[in-house]
Structure formats: structure tokens, C-alpha cells
């Protein structure tokens, strides 16, 4: 199965669904990360630094590839026709079975509009009449991950076995999460930020009886043909 995980900025996938991405890689799935922007508006880190860190984090996660769509940071627009077309092209080129997207209810405006943008593109990718230059590609399903705030999840993935690697992937974004070295102080490089990431994972894990979990919402009902699947 091929999975395409979208982030708005180069560290969003790691923060929101990194444990699930690493787990999927370990299970033999073909996983690719697509970042919509280079994160040029962030308080710390040059575009070159951020690109190198994103590549290092991709190596830590073990994903097959990581692409950047080069959309304008702080100006992600969910209904902008050119941005929609770029994301549709990405999906049609990479042909994922499942797409993982940020929540469009995130308080960060770029995350929210990015979530809307990717969902719109995932739908239009399967519409044959939309931009006929590339063959239509219907995405089978998509999962929505939590951003800056928690939500009541529809699905929780047990990421107990991959949490430590997820933290290493987050810390690969040194310009964002490591204080000092002349960097501006931000909520991301505050000493307690990683505690928040762990606390969230522990809360979601507790809800399904494991140590660490990542919560997702589903855009449509989960199709079931064997009740045994409900018992793991
Ligand atoms: Zn972000």
C-alpha cells in the first residue's frame, strides 16, 4: 500500500503523525512525505537549513521520498485554483492509496487552509474531467491528524514501538526545536515542548490501552467486513 503524508511546513508530519508514518514504513508500506511549503516564515532556520533538516528527518523516519511543493508559507489557500492544481498533480504523480492530511480545524491558519486544500485536491484527483493532463487517480481514503490542538479521534494508532524514533525525527529539525545557538525563543524550542508531545501521545495511548498513540479523524465511515478487526 502506498501512503502519502502531507504537512504544511517541513516538521508537521513528524509532529502530527510521525509515529504512524514510521510504523507504516516498518510494516513494509511505501510511504512518501509531501510538504506544501518550505516554512520560510518561521522564526528560526533558513530555507537551506530547513531543507537539510527535513531530509535528515525523512532518513530517520525511513520514508522512500520527501517532496516539497514550494507553496507560499503564510499564504496557503484552500480554494486557490493554482495551489489545488499543484496538489492534485502531486497526488496523481505519486498515486497513493491513502493520504494523511492536517486538520482543517487547526488554529494555525496555514494548517487549517492546508487541510482544506489537500482534502479538496484528494477529491479532485479522482475526477476525470479535472485537468486532463494527467490520469485521474482516486484516493481510497484519508486520515486527518491533530495539529496544535487535540480532537476526539475516530481512530487511534498504537505507536508505542515508534515513539522514540518519532522524537528523533522531530529533533532532526534542530533549527525549530533546539534552543540557544542564537535562535529566537519560540513555543517550539521551549524546554517543555517535547513533554507536550509525549503527554498527547500518552493520552491517546491510554484511550486504547497502550503507552503511546496517535489520534486521527476519518473523512468517511470506516468500511468493515469482519468484526474480528475490532479486536485488533
Ligand atoms: Zn506547521
Q: How far apart are the CA of 9 and the centre of ligand 1, in A?
A: 4
Separation of CA 106 and ligand 1 centre (Å): 10
User: Higher model confidence: residue 134 or residue 85?
Assistant: 85
Q: What is the pTM of this model?
A: 0.95
Query: Greater confidence, 193 or 148?
Result: 193
Fold of 2-220: Rossmann fold (3.40.50)
Q: What percent of the chain has pLDDT over 90?
A: 81
| 130 C-alpha to ligand 1 centroid (Å) | 29
Range 36-59 average pLDDT: 92
Instruction: Look at residues 53, 217, 46, 43 and name the one whose alpha carbon lies nearest to residue 143.
Output: 217
Question: Would you kindly state where each structural domain of the chain is located, as residue ranges?
Answer: 2-220
Cα(67) to ligand 1 centroid in Å equals: 16
Residue 205, all three cell numbers: 495511548
Is residue 2 within a helix (H) or strand (E), and if so which, with residue range?
A: strand 2-7
**Is it the case that residue 232 has pLDDT exceeding 80?**
no
Tell me: pLDDT of 139 over 90. yes
- CA–centroid distance, residue 225 to ligand 1 (Å): 36
* CA 128 – ligand 1 centroid, Å: 31
Ligand 1 centroid – CA 113 distance (Å): 11
Q: H-helix or E-strand containing 218?
A: strand 213-218
C-alpha cell at 74: 503564510
Phi and psi of 106, rounded to 5°? -65, 140
As a whole number, mean pLDDT of residues 57-72 equals 98
How many CA atoms within 13 Å lie on the side-chain side of 71? 31
When pLDDT is averaged across residues 14-30 and rounded to a whole number, the result is 98
Q: Give the number of other CB atoms < 10 A from CB of residue 159.
A: 24
Report, as an integer, the average pLDDT of 143-172: 95
- In this structure, the dihedral spanned by the alpha carbons of residues 29, 111, 36 and 223, taken in order and rounded to 10 degrees, is 30
214 CB neighbour count, 10 Å cutoff = 27
Ligand 1 center to 111 CA (angstroms): 6
pLDDT greater than 80 at residue 120:
yes
Distance 114 CA to ligand 1 centre (A): 10
Write out the H or E segment, with its range, that includes residue 181: none
User: For residue 115, how far is its CA from the centre of ligand 1 (angstroms)?
Assistant: 11
**DSSP-based three-state secondary structure for 6:** strand
Helix H, strand E, coil C: the string for 133-175 is: CCCCCCCCEEEEECCCCCCCCCEEEECCCCHHHHHHHHHCCHH
pLDDT at 98 over 90: yes
pLDDT above 90: residue 132: no
- Cα(158) to ligand 1 centroid in Å equals 23
Residues, beta carbon < 5 Å, ion ligand 1 = 8-9, 12
**Ligand 1 mean position to 13 CA, how many Å?**
9
Amino acid at each position: 500500500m502506498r501512503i502519502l503524508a502531507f504537512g504544511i511546513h517541513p516538521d508537521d508530519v513528524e509532529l502530527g503523525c510521525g509515529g504512524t508514518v514510521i510504523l507504516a514504513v516498518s510494516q513494509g508500506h511505501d510511504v512518501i512525505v509531501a510538504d506544501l511549503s518550505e516554512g520560510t516564515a518561521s522564526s528560526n532556520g533558513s530555507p537551506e537549513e530547513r531543507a537539510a533538516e527535513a531530509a535528515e528527518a525523512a532518513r530517520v523516519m525511513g520514508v522512500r521520498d520527501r517532496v516539497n511543493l514550494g507553496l507560499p508559507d503564510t499564504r496557503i489557500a484552500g480554494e486557490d485554483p493554482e495551489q489545488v492544481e499543484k496538489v492534485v498533480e502531486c497526488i496523481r504523480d505519486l498515486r497513493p492509496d491513502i493520504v494523511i492530511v492536517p486538520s482543517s480545524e487547526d488554529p494555525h491558519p496555514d494548517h487549517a487552509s492546508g487541510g482544506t486544500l489537500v482534502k479538496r485536491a484528494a477529491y479532485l484527483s479522482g475526477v476525470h474531467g479535472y485537468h486532463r493532463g494527467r490520469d485521474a487517480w482516486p484516493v481510497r481514503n484519508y486520515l486527518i491528524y491533530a495539529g496544535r490542538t487535540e480532537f476526539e479521534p475516530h481512530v487511534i494508532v498504537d505507536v508505542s514501538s515508534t515513539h522514540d524514533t518519532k522524537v528523533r525525527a522531530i529533533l532532526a529539525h534542530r533549527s525549530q526545536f533546539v534552543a540557544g545557538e542564537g535562535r529566537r525563543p519560540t513555543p517550539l524550542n521551549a524546554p517543555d515542548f517535547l513533554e507536550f508531545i509525549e503527554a498527547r501521545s500518552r493520552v491517546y495511548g491510554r484511550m486504547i490501552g497502550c503507552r503511546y498513540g496517535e489520534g486521527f479523524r476519518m473523512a468517511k465511515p470506516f468500511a468493515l467486513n469482519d468484526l474480528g478487526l475490532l479486536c485488533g
